[in-house]
Structure 1
Amino acid sequence: MSKSLKKFSVFISSFFIFLIHLPFVFAKTIPHKNLTSPVSIGASKVTYSTHDGEVPNSNKVSAYDSLQLNTMGLSKQAFDYAIRGFKSLLAMGKLNNDSIISIVDFSLSSAKKRLFVIDLKNYKVLYNTYVAHGRNSGAEFAEQFSNNPRSNKSSLGFYVTGNTYDGEHGYSLHLEGEEKGINDNAYKRAIVMHCADYVNERYIESKGYIGRSLGCPAIPKQVYKPIINEIKDGSCLFLYSPNQDYISHSIFLKNAS
Structure 2
Amino acid sequence: MTRLIRSLWLAAAVAAFSTPLMASTASAPSLEQSLAKAAPTLNKKVLRHALAAMQCAINNGSEPADRLAVIDFSRPSTERRLWVFDLKRKTLLLRELVAHGQGSGENFATRFSNTEGSHQSSIGLFRTAETYHGQHGYSLRMDGLEPGINDRARERAIVIHPADYVDPRWISRHGRIGRSHGCPAVRPEVARMVVDSLKGGQFMFSWYPDRQWLRSSAYLNCKPQRVAAILAAGKDSES
TM-score range, shorter chain: 0.7 to 0.9
State the Cα distance separating 1:222 from its structure 2 match. 0.4
Contact 1:163 1:173 in 2 (8 A): yes
In the alignment, which residue of structure 2 is the partner of 1:66? Answer: 37
Whether 1:94 aligns to 2:62 is: yes
* TM value normalised by structure 2: 0.79
Q: Counterpart of 1:81 in structure 2: which amino acid?
A: H
Work out the percentage of aligned pairs sharing the same amino acid.
36
The one-letter code of the counterpart of 1:89 is A
- Measure the CA separation in 1 of the matches of 2:46 and 2:140: 23
- Alignment match, 1:118: 85
Extract structure 1 runs of 4+ deviating beyond 6 A.
none
The CA deviation at 1:245 is 1.6
Deviation of 1:120 after TM superposition, in Å, equals: 1.6
Determine whether 1:148 maps to 2:115. yes
Alpha-carbon deviation of 1:170? 0.9
Deviation at 1:93, TM superposition (A): 3.6
Distance 2:130 2:25 in 1: 43
Which residue does 2:48 correspond to in 1?
Answer: 80
Alpha carbons of 1:136 and 1:63: their partners in 2 closer, same or farther (altered >3 Å)? same
Q: Deviations over 1:18-77 (max 9, x none)?
A: xxxxxxxxxxx99x99xxxxxxxxxxxxxxxxxx4554764856124422x23x2x1111
Map of 1:20-39 to 2, 5 A cutoff?
none
Question: Are 1:182 and 2:149 matched, yes or no?
Answer: yes
* Counterpart Cα distance in 2 of 1:169 and 1:239: 22
Structure 2 distance, partners of 1:123, 1:57, is 18
Distance 2:159 2:135 in 1: 11
Aligned to 2:221: 254
Task: Count how many residue pairs are aligned between Structure 1 and Structure 2.
Answer: 205
> Equivalent residue for 1:49?
none
Return closer, same or farther for 1:231/1:59 CA change in 2, 3 Å cut-off. Answer: closer
* SS in structure 1 at match of 2:102: coil
Aligned with 1:160: secondary structure?
A: strand
Q: Structure 1's 163 and 59: CA in aligned 2 closer, same or farther, altered over 3 A? A: closer
* 1:157 Cα deviation after fit: 0.4
The equivalent of 1:210 in structure 2 is 177
Q: Structure 1: which 5+ runs fail to align?
A: 1-28, 34-51
Whether the 8 Å contact between 1:95 and 1:236 is mirrored in structure 2 is: no
Q: Is the 8 A contact 2:35 2:85 kept in 1?
A: no
> Which structure has the greater CA radius of gyration?
1
Match of 2:202 in 1: 235
Q: CA deviation at 1:185?
A: 0.7
Question: Counterpart in 2 of 1:157?
Answer: 124
Q: Which amino acid aligns with 2:154?
A: Y
Partners in 2 of 1:90 and 1:56 — Cα distance?
A: 24
2:140 aligned partner, one-letter code: L
2-side partners of 1:227 and 1:65: how far apart? 20
Of 199, 217, 223 in structure 1, the residue corresponding to residue 190 of structure 2 is 223
Code of the residue aligned with 1:85 in structure 2: it is A
In 2, Cα distance between equivalents of 1:60 and 1:222: 34
Give 1:142 deviation, angstroms: 0.8
> 1:200, 1:170 → 2: CA distance?
17
> Quick check: 2:124–2:206 contact (8 Å CA) kept in 1?
yes
The residue type equivalent to 2:217 in the other structure is S
Q: Is the contact made by 1:95 and 1:160 (CA closer than 8 Å) also made in structure 2?
A: no
Is residue 2:102 matched to residue 1:135? yes
